[in-house]
Structure 1
Amino acid sequence: MNQLRSHPRLVRKLQEALGDQLCVALDDSTVVEIMLNPDGKLFIERLGHGVAPAGEMSSAAAEMVIGTVAHALQSEVDTEQPIVSGELPIGGHRFEGLLPPVVSKPAFTIRRRASRLIPLEDYVRSGVMSKQQALTIRSAISSRLNIIISGGSGSGKTTLANAVINEIVKSAPDDRLVILEDTAEIQCTADNAVLLHTSDTVDMARLLKSTMRLRPDRIVVGEVRDGAALTLLKAWNTGHTGGVATIHSNTAMSALRRLEQLTAEASQQPMQEVIGEAVDLIISIERTARGRRVRDVIQIGQRDRSPIDRHAGADFDMLPGNGDDRLDERRDAAWARSGAEITTLSRRHHHRSLRRANEDKVSGSSRAIERHDTPEAEGFARCQVDAETADDCGSNTAANDGCHQGQEHDCMRPWSASRPKRKHGCLHLSESPWLFV
């Protein structure tokens, strides 16, 4: 990110170009985003009100805004370099500006920096997350589990990350936090915290390497977006537990696949094992027509270890455990304290032919994914059967057909964290290399 240069003259020039309406909007704590389209139409998103038209802006004024921000960032903007990314000299809000030829006419978006921190209890009170989800998140924090927050653009990932960091500060006030960002958006009230920002010459991977020498207790990354994901995961795996990061992804499951894609940018070797060892909890938040809501809270659980699972000649990569019994104990303690109902999702009977052939016998569990107090995800259904009293559910044709069609079995029941882990289950999902038996 370009370094910001704030000067009274630049600020006045930018205020004049923005106009009174947008300056007032930037001072409004309910404003989330200001958007100018190439056709000159303005739109403003406000909390609780969604996106609404907000008048128009001339191309000349828009070009002046973009040019002034570029000047403040000490960068050039022209037809050869038509994109400006950085922070506004007013309030440090995130700015993205574009000029022709990448757009027909000047356009920009301003993501307003949150002026107040929203605690987890407010998420529960407003119905964005359930009490059980909040309790599970708090238990993960106190047990120093690594948390990934996933969501699409504008879903509220960073705001939720701020709430999680606030819980970290309350739970472990003496911990030293090192926070890495491209744009300053993370809010942290910790007494012992270091905030680092990327620049044109220092990328996220370089910052992460430097972070290891700053004696962090917890490492927080504002957004994982490139091959630096591998460096972060390795840092989390080397004793720096209890970290937080956000990632662009529509669901918790796709967050794992996204991490795999990002690590592939830095390594030709599969990094599923590294991901499985480092990531403990994924929180998925989404923006809907009725507002934002936490869609999933998923734990990456620790079970027996098996490098490869082969079904009818198809190779399925498994995630070996990290062998850290203390970490496993912290995980178990976290879910026991949370009292959350856990449903183990596995990839048993991924193909109908395999279910009919009844080739998947219960042979011990491997690393699995556990969902906490979440609504049903589209595209799959699950069944759970007591391993002691039931045959493999692949032999139950009626149950399989119902499960395949997205219907619940009579045998489907919650699995309490306090109960013995003597279950097996099935999941039908079109593609999911991260779901294991």
Structure 2
Amino acid sequence: MTSAFERAGRGRASEGEGTEAEAMRRVRASLARGGSDGGAIAMLDPAAVSARDVVGLGRRLRQAIAGAGPLLDPLLSDRSVTDVLVNGGRGVWVDRGNGMERDERASRGLSDDSSVRALAVRLAAACGQRLDDSSPIVDGTFPDGLRLHAVLPPLAAEGTLISMRAHRPVSFTLAELAEGGMFDRFALRLLLALVAHRANVIVSGATGSGKTTLLAAVLGEVPSDERILVIEESAELRPSHPHVVHLQVRRANVQGAGEVALSELVRAAMRMRPDRIVLGECRGAEVREVLTALNTGHEGGWATIHANSAADVPARLTALGALAGMSEDVVAAQAASALDAVVHIERRDGVRVLTQVAVLERRRGELTASVALEFDGKAVAQGPAWPRLAARVGMNARTGAEACAASDARIGAEVDVGVGAGTGTDVGIGSAASIGADAAGGVDGRTRTGVRSGVHWRSGVGRNDMGARKRYEGSPM
């Protein structure tokens, strides 16, 4: 026989569960109507929530208000996941660095479009944006850097679409990217040389190819006494550097006022005493201000751009320049003068790899890209623009397995001597000028870069990987 105490206990539990469910229903309804986080929480009646419900309700409220919910939060907490995509009620897909794969658990939980739409509205509200029929497309950023993009029907013909890109605060070093197979030791030396000689560089590639990852690693090699000013639509670049400041665009409010565009931020950056100006992504009329800045003494700048190959970058720059009212001839003249190199990366079989380095040239009023180096994972092929690029960054114009093998012995000796002596002065210079340039020519007054690279190599690539004991055979690290 059931006791009165047991029946009373079950009654209280049932009442608590009902209270929690009702609280969650009211919060979700408020957020779906576009209410604020504070307004949704204020709807709760503290007297109606017992102490035993506080922990569970608090957890679920955090997921409902500030998180992506119990189905997507575990995916976004997985450090191997970079992207989570929800295709209406037709499935949830994740990218763990090896291509897209379907997540069956999340797909089963979000199997109807009404649930996906409610989730999208809730996520938009959580990052301070409005998503409804009058504003069916939203871009937002959460405080932790998670990026949200959502599109409602009928613009999304097959149901509400949600795209989330996770922000990983840990940045890789160039040495770690080389060890992971993104590029070989020859490319590593070139990237270090581009930094040391303050070259202006564009990193090109498709979405998800690793442009931001590579750029963050490159900026980590900038000397610590330089000020890096990063301009982005949303804060993604978090390089390991002691003096980085960020400028971020502000979108217009619902009345269409208050917008601060990238082009305005670039102009502002030029008055903030930057040693290096970095544009997270060049995608609009701001290309005019960027090229102007790089042509007026602001060296060492970097930017990224979406392109399928290095050869496509001129067309992309020309199209973006047209948005700013620049003619094709003006874009060609400005870009060829301002930019020293294009570094292109791709995803091949799910692996991000550096495939090309090119130099922009102006020919008969048109902007073209001339290949300097090509990497196929097994060998380095020299292009017609390599001598020009090599001269710009203090490297010898020889390339290929023989040049790398010869320079390995020299680099190994310099690393052993530099690290052993504790100065590292010739280590970074060895990297920047290792391909044939003598030590004196490599130094060129940039000893602080050598010191930084020397210390970095000791903990990263180090003498075991770059020393004379290992010969370069043309294969990736």
**TM-score (normalised: structure 2):** 0.61
Aligned-pair distance for 1:300? Answer: 4.2
Confirm whether residue 121 of structure 1 aligns to residue 175 of structure 2: yes
| CA displacement at 1:289 relative to structure 2 | 1.8
Is the aligned partner of 1:98 residue 2:139?
no
The one-letter code sitting in structure 2 at the alignment partner of 1:54 is D
C-alpha distance in 2 between matches for 1:198 and 1:232: 15
Counterpart code for 1:105: G
Q: Secondary structure at the match of 1:174?
A: coil
CA deviation digits over 1:159-196, x for unaligned, max 9?
A: 1111111122xxx1111111000011101333222201
2:178–2:184 contact (8 Å) kept in structure 1: yes
Q: Percent identity?
A: 28
8 Å CA contact retained: 1:157, 1:246: yes
Letter in 2 for 1:102: L
Once the two structures are superposed, residues 71-97 of structure 1 have per-residue CA deviations (whole angstroms, 9 ceiling, x without a partner) of 2343322222111101135x2211111
Distance in 1 (CA, whole Å) between partners of 2:69 and 2:128 is 23
List aligned pairs for 1:291-310, cutoff 5 A: 291-300=351-360, 309=364
Deviation per residue, 1:361-404 (Å, 9 max, x gap): xxxxxxxxxxx99xxxxxxxxxxxxxxxxxxxxxxxxxxxxxxx
Query: C-alpha separation between the residues in 2 aligned to 1:285 and 1:38?
Result: 31
The answer to which structure has the higher helix fraction is 2
Shift of 1:115: 3.3
> For the structure 1 residues 204 and 237, does the alpha-carbon distance in structure 2 shift closer, same or farther, using more than 3 Å as the test?
same
Aligned CA distance change for structure 1 residues 15 and 26 (closer, same or farther; 3 Å): same
Task: Give unmatched runs, 5+ long, in structure 1.
Answer: 302-306, 310-315, 320-328, 343-371, 374-415, 419-437
Cα gap change, 1:12/1:308 in structure 2, threshold over 3 Å: closer, same or farther? Answer: closer
Q: Which has the higher strand share?
A: 1
Query: How well do the aligned residues superpose, as a CA RMSD in angstroms?
Result: 2.8
1:196 aligns with 2:279: no
Map of 1:36 onto structure 2: 86
Q: Is the 8 A contact 1:234 1:274 kept in 2?
A: yes
CA distance 1:6–1:288, shift in 2 (3 Å): farther
Aligned partner letter, 1:202: V
Which of the residues 45, 70, 77 maps onto 2:124?
70
Tell me how far apart the structure 2 counterparts of residues 83 and 417 of structure 1 sit (CA, whole Å).
Answer: 54
Aligned partner of 1:208 in structure 2 is 266
Counterpart of 1:33 in structure 2: which amino acid?
A: D
Q: Deviations 1:131-173 (Å, cap 9, x if unpaired)?
A: 11111111011000011000011111111111111122xxx11
What amino acid sits opposite 1:196 in the alignment?
L
Rg: which structure is higher?
2
* Cα distance in structure 2, aligned partners of 1:176 and 1:68: 38
Mark the runs of 5 or more structure 2 residues left unpaired by the alignment.
1-35, 42-60, 252-258, 369-386, 405-434, 438-477
Quote the Cα distance in structure 2 between the aligned partners of 1:275 and 1:334. Answer: 16
Partner of 2:224: 173
Letter aligned with residue 138 of structure 1:
L
Contact 2:66 2:126 in 1 (8 A): no
Aligned with residue 160 of structure 1, among 214, 219, 222: 214
Contact 2:37 2:65 in 1 (8 A): no
C-alpha distance in structure 1 between counterparts of 2:80 and 2:166, whole Å:
9
Q: Distance in 2 between matches of 1:274 and 1:417?
A: 31
2:290 to 211, 225, 232: 232
Counterpart Cα distance in 2 of 1:199 and 1:248: 22
For residues 396 and 282 of structure 2, the distance between their equivalents in structure 1, rounded to whole angstroms, comes to 28
> Displacement of 1:333 after TM fit?
5.0
With over 3 angstroms needed to count, the CA separation of the structure-2 counterparts of 1:255 and 1:223, relative to structure 1, is: same
Q: Aligned AA for 2:225?
A: D
Equivalent residues of 2:197, 2:393 under 8 A apart:
no
Q: What's the secondary structure of 1:67's corresponding residue?
A: helix
1:32/1:221 CA distance change after superposition, 3 Å: same
Select which of 133, 145, 149 maps to 2:199: 145
CA distance in 1, matches of 2:283, 2:130: 24
**What corresponds to 2:342 in structure 1?**
282
Matched residue, 1:398: none
Paired position in structure 2 for 1:54? 103
Counterpart Cα distance in 2 of 1:116 and 1:318 = 37
**Deviations 1:274-320, CA, capped at 9 Å, x for gaps:** 0001111111111122411111122347xxxxx865xxxxxx6478x
